Structure formats: structure tokens, C-alpha cells
Amino acid sequence: MQRKIKRRGFDPNDFKWFSDEAVAKLKKAQDEVQWLLDRGFKFDSVITFVCNHYLLSSRQRLALQRSASGSVKFEKRKNTMLPLEAARDGCIYIDGFNLVITLEVALSGSPVFLGRDGVIRDLAGLRGTYRLIDKTETALNLIGKCLNDLSVPAVMFFLDSPVSNSGRLGSKILECSYDWNIPVEVEIVPNADVILSGMNRIVTSDAIILDSCTGWFNLGRKIIEDYISYAWVVDLT
């Protein structure tokens, strides 16, 4: 049965909130957030103060919250990012919901955000619920294509068990992976963040995990730039 067409991560007001003029204001706000963070101010307080000053909408606030960071963290992420050529050197470990949802959002024509750390993020959010949509299989097939293009020898997806339909997504990953011709495992775990934090050769856009891992691949950005030509990428760099 064909799934109902759904635009993941879309709000009709996004055209206003992320227009060229609005993005210019968002970049200015991001400059001030980074300046304050670099001087030791707390993240939550800084975000609240700057967003209130610029009268940002809730969607704009979320975009800033997910993209902004201090210079030290940006530099750390840059230093631990692995070259894509190294993907062929062993198994990679994917934050499943994180990557799949970002690709679903990009495939939906909803805004995704390129931050100063080079990572593309979305505004969809899980909040404990997830359903497969008409973009899910396409997203998985693009992941498989990218893995094959990079000659990745094996891959493991981690999915959070408290999130609804994690089992269904896991089954869909395995179903699609039959055509990838590489070993694929899916682990459904209580908290993928805890497992991926401190690991090497991971794939995620989660800032907390990126700040604690020892090495990561910027796979999401590569897939969007290489295979989703119509993606609405809001450049905050």
C-alpha cells in the first residue's frame, strides 16, 4: 500500500521565517551567541537572551539552538571529522533516527540548516514518536547508495527503543539493505546517544554526541549535497 504523502519537518511559515532577510538576522544573532559562549556564558541563558532580543519565532529559535556553539566546540568537531575516504577502512556506526529523519526532511523540501561546523541539521524533532512516511524508503536507498559509493565494508544502525515504530524502521532498514551488498546490522537500544558518545567512526548530527565522540563522518551532508539537488539548505555559515 502506498503511504500518504507527508512533508516531514515543514511549517507554512518557514518561507517567512527563513527568507533571505530573516536568515541575515539569524546569522547576526548566531554571531552574538557565539561571542557570548566564547566568553563563558551559559548556553541556555545566551540562547534565551539573544532570541528575545531579536524577537525570533520558535522555529528560528530552534534553528539557532541546534546550529550555534562556541568556537572551541566547532574546532573540536573539525578536528575529529574523518575524511570520507576513510569510510572504507571499517564498519561505521549510524545514529539511525538522526540520519533518516534529516534525509526525510530534505526530501520533503522542508528547511535543513548548514551550521558552522559543516553539519546539516533539521527542525523535525522526535519527541518520542516516529512513523514511516513516503520518503523513508527513498532516504534509506540514498544511504545505501552513499555507503556503496564510499565502499563501506559494514554498517551498524542504532535506534532508540523508546521511540515509537523503532522496530518497524529497523525492519525497513534491513529490507532495503538487501540491495546494498554489504553487511548491515540494526541494534535497538534504550539510548543510542549513550552508546555513540565516545565511539569512533560514527554518523550523527547531534551536537552532544559530536562533542564526545572520537571520530565522525559527515555522511548526512554528503548525501544531501550529492543526491538531493532540490533540498532547501539554509546556510548559516
Helix (H) or strand (E) holding 105: helix 96-107
Which neighbouring-strand residues pair with 148? none
Of 51, 62, 158, 157, residue with least CA distance to 115? 62
**Contact present, 200 and 213 (Cβ < 8 Å):** yes
Q: What is the DSSP letter of 155?
A: E
For residues 179 and 202, give the distance between their C-alpha atoms in angstroms, rounded to a whole number.
22
Q: What is the pTM for the complete model shown?
A: 0.95
End-to-end CA distance of the chain: 41
Residue type, 43: F
3 state DSSP class of 54: coil
Contacts of residue 206, defined as CB under 8 A and 6 or more positions apart, other chains included, come to 95, 98, 193, 196
pLDDT score, position 1: 47
**Contact present, 37 and 68 (Cβ < 8 Å):** yes
**Contact present, 158 and 189 (Cβ < 8 Å):** yes
Bridge pairing between strands 184-189 and 111-114? unpaired
pLDDT score, position 36: 98
3 state DSSP class of 8: coil
pLDDT less than 50: residues of the chain:
1
For residues 139 and 147, give the distance between their C-alpha atoms in angstroms, rounded to a whole number.
12
**Contact present, 101 and 47 (Cβ < 8 Å):** no
